[in-house]
Structures are given as structure tokens and as C-alpha cells.
Amino acid sequence: MAMRDRTSLARRCMLGGVALTLTAVTACGGGGDETGGAAGGGCEPASGKVTLDYWSWVPGMQKAVDLWNKENPDIQVELKTTPAGNAGTYQNLSNALKAGKAPDLGQIEYDSLASFRLKEGLRDISSCAGVSEAGGKFVDWTWSQVEFGADGKDGVWAVPQDTGPMALFYRKDVYDKLGLKPPTTWDEYAEQARTIKSAGKYITHFSQTDPNWFTGLLWQNKATMFERDGDAWKVTVDRPESRQVADYWQKLIDDKLVATDLQGFSPALYKAWNTGEVVTWVSAAWGYSTIRDNAKSTDGKWAVAPMPQWNEGDQQAGNWGGSTTAVTSKTEHPAEAAKFALWLNTDREALELLNREGGLYPAAKSGLELPALQQPVDFYGKQKIFDVFQQASSNVDTAFTWGPTMTDTYRYLSDGTASVVAGKSTLGDVLKETGSQSADSLRKQSLDVSGG
């Protein structure tokens, strides 16, 4: 095959392989290294004792690793606790891959799998023992996120870990004192922001370091950021549905109704939760432990309600995060790495630990039956909060499409949001600039872009 034809085929396969939607992607024959990442090849167990390096930011992960190490003396895992993905882990992992010093396994969110596969940073583990038949153990849409090609014809590149359906955490004591009820629409939420501001508080914070949080808000409004156009990509970051979300939050920022000096997952934010300065957080299921563990003085004062809707009567939810355990292309022990990844995300005791210690909302179907997810939660006034998240999960738009360079897109969003918080730009401008920059990023990867 001529090199030009081979390159064209590789590009078409790459397009088919990295169109990470929540539905099956179009198959493109071949697979292996032509579509990015390391081909599955053989996956034979090692003959001796193995030590695996694993990077994760989940609180309490060490307890799960300790449990594994106790039960598997010949396959020991050494955990490195890292910052959340876009807060540092992804850049560090990219650098480690280039330097040939990447860990055997890493925590990677669904939206960033395609980016790392494009960098040839992931290992196809479909030929490893137990992987090909594991799909039925996970919520359907999560398994389709870790496969590439129709029915996984282009491999399996990670094991699903958790999901992030979104809802509204709110200080019920403050709402009760002000005579407020959980908002059912975003218009009502904005009205409440004024009432809460008059009481000397902020309804929420707007962080410049959580671009995937903002993406979750776009997701709720069906504002997909990328679309497929035949063999090309169409960048749709700046679209009417996105503008609606951006204009809404820009108004809250302009009117000083949200705190813009608090970054996500920061001591300053936790203090604001403890003091009651900030009284709501639109967040994912895993956020329940973030508040619980960092705002301990507010025990019993929080509750959870569905996300506010753009139209009265709608039942749409966004998704923020949700991760996988991925085996990197640099591992010398794919069989052992895959075995640990499967155990970590299907073993009942491990799932219980990760839910209790790290607040993970499991991707494994058996995990959704954990007693803790069926019971009232003391910290949230004995509310059965996971009923809200289970409903939210069923209302997430399954057609949302990730682009193959989401780490770049998130960086553009984050940089742009910083200028908005500084009063130098608007969220509408950020969408336009991010769309243009994302298209350029795709072209730099030799991917075809249609329009713009």
C-alpha cells in the first residue's frame, strides 16, 4: 500500500476509533497501532513476582490497594496519589509517557481516553484474561466508552471505574431560614442567588480550574462540543445551546452573585462551605464525600435535589467526570495490570471501600447495589441522596460526543475562564476562542476538520 494511502486509511481509522460517544462508534477495520495506542498483541502473565505503579487521585484508594496487595503477594501495586486529572495528572502523565517513565496504570476520565490513545499512551487489553467478557459487568454506556470501534473491534483500552451524574447540593438549613425551596429551573436559581446575596452569602462559586464542570453544564443542555461529519470532525463548542449556558453564568458573574475568588477543591472553598458563605454546589454523585470530608462542621445541614432545568418540567442532567483505570502503553506487565484493573472495579469489597472512602459512584452494575447506596446518609440529614443520582444518571444525554483532543480543549476553556474571572473577557468569547483553538488542535494531529 502506498504511504499516502496508508496515511489516509490511518486517519480514517483514527476518526472511527476516537469518536467517544455514549453510543457505539463506527467500526473501522484494522485496529492496533494504526488507530493509536499499543496493539493488544499477547497478554501472557509474567513468570515471577511483579510490581505495578498506579497513579490515582481517589481519596482512600490506598486502602483498596492494601487489600489487593494482601491478597496478591506476587502482584504488588505501588500507589502514587496525584492531583485530579486536569489539575496536574494528565500533564504529568503526558510528560512521563514522552520520557518513557509512565506508570503501568493510571486513572483517566472517559473524556480524556481518546486524547491519550491519540498520543499512543494506552494499551489495548482486549486479549488479557477476563477483559473481553467483562463488558456485561458494567453499566452499558460506560463500557462503550472504553471500547473503540463497533462492538470493541478496535480493542478495549481501560476498565470503567465510576460515573458522575450531576445534581444540586444545597444547604437546607440556609434555604429553610430564607424560606426557599430547591429550584426547579435555572431562572429560579438566579432569583435565589439574589435573595441569598442579600443575606450576605453566595449561592455558589464559579471556578476557573474546573472546565469539565462547565462541560457538565453544557452536557445538560445537549450542547455537544464535537460532532462527526463523515470522516471529519466538526467543532461545535460555540453553538446556541452553549451560548445559553455561557450567557446565563456570565450574568451571574457580572452581577456578582457567585463567588469568583474560590477555586474548586481548595481550602478556601472548604472554609466557605463551613462558614456558610457558599450554600450550593452543582456537582456529581462523587461530590457527596467532598463536602462531607471537607465541611465537617455542616453535618446534617446539606441536602440534594435534581439539577435546575432550562425549561419547566424537563428532566435533563449533566455528567461531570467518571473515570477509568487504564493500562498504559509503557507497561511491561499488561496481564497483571489488567487483572488488577478488573478486580479494583468489580470486587465487592473494593467497591465498598472506594464508595465509602472516595465517594465513587460505581460503574459496575453490582456496585449500584451496595447497601450504602440504598441507605439514608446521615451527613445529608438522613436523606437517601443516591436515589437522586440514580434518577439523574438515567437522564444524562447519551449522544454527547467527546473530541479526540479534550485535554487541549479543557486547557483552552480553563485559560479563557481565568480571563473572564479577571474581567477581561466573557464566557461567550471563551466559547468562540475555544472552538477555534480546538479546531487548530485537531488539525495539528493531522485530523480532518469540517467547517471553521
Q: List Cβ neighbours of 39 (8 Å cut-off, separation of 6 or more).
A: 31, 32, 33, 124, 155
∠ Cα 447 91 157 (to 5°): 60
Helix, strand or coil, per DSSP, at residue 279: coil
Share of the chain above pLDDT 90, in %: 74
What confidence score (pLDDT) does residue 84 get?
Answer: 81
Give bridge partners of residue 122 from the DSSP assignment. 328
DSSP per residue, 339-352: HHHHHHHH-HHHHH
Q: Is 20 a residue whose pLDDT tops 90?
A: no
**How far is C-alpha 327 from the chain's CA centre?**
17
Dihedral sign, CA of 266, 250, 164, 236?
negative
Instruction: Report pLDDT for 230.
Output: 84
**Between residues 404 and 202, which one has the greater pLDDT?**
202
Q: Please, what is the average pLDDT of the chain? A: 89
Q: Minimum mean pLDDT among 5-19, 36-50, 117-131, 394-408: which range?
A: 5-19
The average pLDDT across 400-410 equals 88
Does the pLDDT of residue 153 top 80, yes or no? no
**pLDDT, tens digit, 9 for 90 and up, residues 86-128:** 777 888 999 999 999 999 999 999 988 988 998 899 999 999 9
- 78, β-bridge pairs: 53
pLDDT at 13: 40
Q: Which residue has the cell 470530608?
A: 293
Q: What is the pLDDT of residues 183-237, one digit of tens each?
A: 999 999 999 999 999 999 999 999 988 998 999 999 999 999 999 888 899 999 9
Containing 439, the helix (H) or strand (E) segment is helix 427-444
Nearest-10 Cα torsion for 107, 56, 349, 104: 70
Give me the pLDDT at residue 141, please: 77
Give the pLDDT band (50/70/90) at residue 22. Answer: very low
Which position has the higher pLDDT, 304 or 209?
Answer: 304
Rounded-to-integer distance, Cα 224 and Cα 247, Å: 17
CA distance 113 to 326: 8
Q: What is the dihedral of CA 316, 321, 322, 328, to 10 degrees?
A: 150
Instruction: Summarize the confidence of residues 266-289 as an average pLDDT.
Output: 96
C-alpha to C-alpha distance for 116 and 103, rounded to whole angstroms? 14
The CA radius of gyration of the chain, in Å to the nearest whole number, is 22
| DSSP class per residue in 384-432 | -HHHHHHHHHHTB-TT-B--TTHHHHHHHHHHHHHHHHTTS--HHHHHH
Query: Average pLDDT of 72-78?
Result: 98
Reading the block at residue 69, the C-alpha cell is 496487595
How large is the average pLDDT for residues 68-81? 97
Distance CA 169, CA 216 (A): 15
Mean pLDDT of 274-283: 98
Distance (Å, whole) CA 196 – CA 177: 11
Where does the pLDDT of residue 293 fall: very low under 50, low under 70, confident under 90, or very high at 90 and above?
Answer: very high
Rounded to an integer, the average pLDDT of 388-402 is 87
Query: Does the pLDDT of residue 403 top 70, yes or no?
Result: yes
Distance CA 320, CA 284 (A): 6
> Average pLDDT for residues 44-59, to the nearest whole number?
96
